[in-house]
Amino acid sequence: MSLTRRKLLRLASGAAVALPVASALTGCQDEGGSTGALRKSRGKAPTPYKVPLPVPPVLKPSRTEGGVDYYDIVQKPAQVEIIPGTKTEIWGYNGLFPGPTLSTRSSRPIVVRHTNELEVPVAVHLHGGKTPPEHDGFPTDLILPRGGWDGHGHDGHGGDVSQGSREYRYPLQQPAATLWYHDHRMDFTGPQVYFGLAGFHLVHDDEEEALPLPKGDRDIPLMICDRSFTADGAFDYPSVDPALKGEHGVTEDFMEGVLGDVILVNGAPWPVLEVTNTRYRFRLLNASNARRYRLALDPGPQSGSAFVQVGSDVGLLGRPIGHDEIQMASAERFDVVVDFSKFPVGTKINMINKLDDGDTGKVMQFHVVRKASDESQVPSKLVDFEPLSRSSATVTRKFDFNQRSDDGWDINGQMYDPQRDDAVPELGATEIWRFDGDAHHPVHLHLAHFQVLSRNQNDPGSYDSGWKDTIDLQSGKEMEIIARFTGYRGRYVFHCHNLEHEDMGMMANFRVK
Ligand code: C2O
Ligand code: CU
């Protein structure tokens, strides 16, 4: 597809000219329950269940001043061993993939200074954060490379552009939750997250700490994603412009989404975690560009549920929920407890993905290696949870995530325009938003936390509980959420978190007034 044609259509969409979509619509490709196309690795695939699970290091503040913790992160390339015996270049926060974990306290503000030593512009978003707009990683608020930038056309779109570094302030006025931070560069989020720009940010508070949940080295974040590799071990992402300078997006075959054939957990292929026969808390994050998972344990426990969910995207649940399987779309988090005392010492338990067979049907392995004492419990009440009632909403809006054009994806028939406000909720308002979609579209709102009201005109599903920031909007289905626009005034994005859809237009703005 020619640059001019894409550019023209992009301009046309910005000017609200109808796109010639109807004739260009194609059926959506589905690979094992995910919207996307499989990119096959060309090298030799690693053998599942051989390497140990890495746990990303917790970042220490570089200084504390006036009750504010200051952190420094340098974004840079690094050579790491992902496939045993091979080096892969990653782009990492402090050269790590996943990036270092931030572990912070609710309502204790922090400042993170990001320095960009990569060769491309970046923007950093704290996913799930209640953050003032100028610190939210708006896609055009770029940090240009410290070494200079000669790219053109995508260097700002009128955003607030910084040279080399930028400070992000996070008030963190929100409860304990499993958040994550990742790149959000306009038009190029897909490749930049794929190359490694993602990490955990765990917010803690007194209420969470008072609960007898597993703690310390039995509280482990698990970032699950899929990647493909070239014959010499590089990440293989099908960008139109591999330099990420000119035309954005992926080659035609991958417009539905990029699916890899190697499953990584915390950056390691199908790793193994040795556990004691005790309870563990796992903070599951689907950080894949497009892949969905339905996680299960094999073998499962003789009695009770495999996973006891204690938290959702942006906080703890009111009460725990037992699941034998956990289905998760891109960007969703499930905070779960697994009780390994239900398995004899010596058992190897595979965490599998029931949406696929073969190696993408495998995720990681737990090996119960010894006995240990366990003081932890999952209490039947976790935190106070206030369900939002339909009648508290003052406005209802509708967004169709349902048109793929030749050149991208859109919401309500329009591709993203960073200058246009697609909704203007009032500060503090409660609103109902209705979504429908013709493919799997994980819908994510910045700033506003929400609850699911209905899924396909029925009650929400078992995976929809608690406070959310992303939902698994499924192919041909409808969903309603009820969102609270508390926090800050200003312009924020909402979008599909299939990163290929996001980069190719499936994003919109709301401006809190
Ligand atoms: Cu996790 Cu706007 O993104
Ligand atoms: Cu989508």
Phi/psi of residue 179, nearest 5 degrees: -100, 170
Which atom from ligand 1 is nearest to the alpha carbon of 137?
Answer: 2
Ligand nearest to the CA of 137: 1
Residue nearest to atom 3 of ligand 1 (CA): 127
Residue 441's SS3 state is strand
Which atom from ligand 1 is nearest to the alpha carbon of 470?
Answer: 1
| Contact present, 304 and 322 (Cβ < 8 Å) | yes
- Smallest Cα–Cα separation from 283: which of 201, 191, 401? 201
Which atom from ligand 1 is nearest to the alpha carbon of 180?
Answer: 1
CA of 136 to the centre of ligand 1 (A): 10
84 class by beta-carbon count within 10 Å (0-12 exposed, 13-18 middle, 19+ buried): exposed
CA distance 502 to 256: 11
- Whose tokens are 């237009």? That residue is 505
Confidence of residue 476 (pLDDT cuts 50, 70, 90): confident
Task: For each of the domains in the chain, give its residue range(s) and CATH number, in order of start.
Answer: 63-210 (2.60.40.420), 216-370 (2.60.40.420), 390-512 (2.60.40.420)
pLDDT at 153: 52
Q: What is the CA radius of gyration of the chain?
A: 22
111 class by beta-carbon count within 10 Å (0-12 exposed, 13-18 middle, 19+ buried): middle
| pTM of the predicted protein model | 0.93
**Ligand 1 contact via 493 beta carbon (within 6 Å):** yes
Ligand nearest to the CA of 257: 2
pLDDT at 364: 98
Ligand nearest to the CA of 444: 1
pLDDT at 262: 98
CA 157 to the chain's CA centroid: 24
Give me the chain's average pLDDT, please.
92
CA distance 427 to 291: 34
pLDDT digits (tens, 9 = 90+) for 339-386: 999 999 999 999 999 999 999 999 999 999 999 999 999 999 999 999
CA of 81 to the centre of ligand 1 (A): 27
**Ligand 1 contact via 127 beta carbon (within 6 Å):** yes
Which atom from ligand 1 is nearest to the alpha carbon of 493?
Answer: 2
CA of 499 to the centre of ligand 1 (A): 9
CA distance 179 to 200: 6
Distance spanning both ends of the chain, measured CA to CA = 40
- Whose tokens are 């915390």? That residue is 266
**Ligand 1 contact via 331 beta carbon (within 6 Å):** yes
**261 Rama sector, left if φ>0, alpha if ψ -120 to 50, beta otherwise:** alpha
CA distance 238 to 235: 10
pLDDT digits (tens, 9 = 90+) for 264-298: 999 999 999 999 999 999 999 999 999 999 999 99
- Per-residue CA distances from 283 to 55, 308, 315, 333, 455 (Å): 12, 12, 11, 7, 24
CA distance 166 to 180: 18
Ligand nearest to the CA of 330: 1
- Whose tokens are 């190029």? That residue is 188
Ligand nearest to the CA of 447: 1
| Contact present, 479 and 452 (Cβ < 8 Å) | yes
- Smallest Cα–Cα separation from 465: which of 387, 398, 383? 387
Q: Which two tokens stand for residue 316?
A: 């703890």
CA of 474 to the centre of ligand 2 (A): 10
CA of 496 to the centre of ligand 2 (A): 5
- The beta strand positions in 198-356, using DSSP E, are 198-204, 219-227, 258-259, 262-265, 268-269, 272-276, 279-286, 293-298, 307-312, 315-323, 326-328, 333-339, 348-353
Confidence of residue 31 (pLDDT cuts 50, 70, 90): low
Which atom from ligand 1 is nearest to the alpha carbon of 331?
Answer: 1
CA of 108 to the centre of ligand 2 (A): 35
pLDDT at 29: 54
CA of 192 to the centre of ligand 2 (A): 18
Listed range (64-78, 101-115, 405-419) with the worst mean pLDDT? 405-419
**Ligand 1 contact via 444 beta carbon (within 6 Å):** yes
Read off the amino acid at residue 74. V
pLDDT digits (tens, 9 = 90+) for 110-126: 999 999 999 999 999 99
CA of 500 to the centre of ligand 2 (A): 8
CA of 33 to the centre of ligand 2 (A): 13
| Contact present, 195 and 79 (Cβ < 8 Å) | no
CA of 387 to the centre of ligand 2 (A): 28
Residue 369's SS3 state is strand
Phi/psi of residue 81, nearest 5 degrees: -95, 105
H or E element in which residue 9 lies: helix 3-14
Average pLDDT over residues 252-262: 95
244 class by beta-carbon count within 10 Å (0-12 exposed, 13-18 middle, 19+ buried): buried
Residue nearest to atom 1 of ligand 1 (CA): 127
- Whose tokens are 């090996």? That residue is 367
| Contact present, 78 and 89 (Cβ < 8 Å) | yes
| Contact present, 123 and 139 (Cβ < 8 Å) | yes
**Ligand 1 contact via 185 beta carbon (within 6 Å):** no
CA distance 128 to 374: 31
Q: Which two tokens stand for residue 360?
A: 């993408």
H or E element in which residue 103 lies: strand 102-105
CA distance 346 to 358: 25
3-state helix, strand, coil in the chain (%, to 5): 10, 40, 50
pLDDT at 406: 74
**Ligand 1 contact via 446 beta carbon (within 6 Å):** yes
**Ligand 1 contact via 218 beta carbon (within 6 Å):** no
CA distance 187 to 416: 10
pLDDT at 438: 87
**Preceding omega of 98 cis (within 30 degrees of 0):** yes
Ligand nearest to the CA of 436: 2
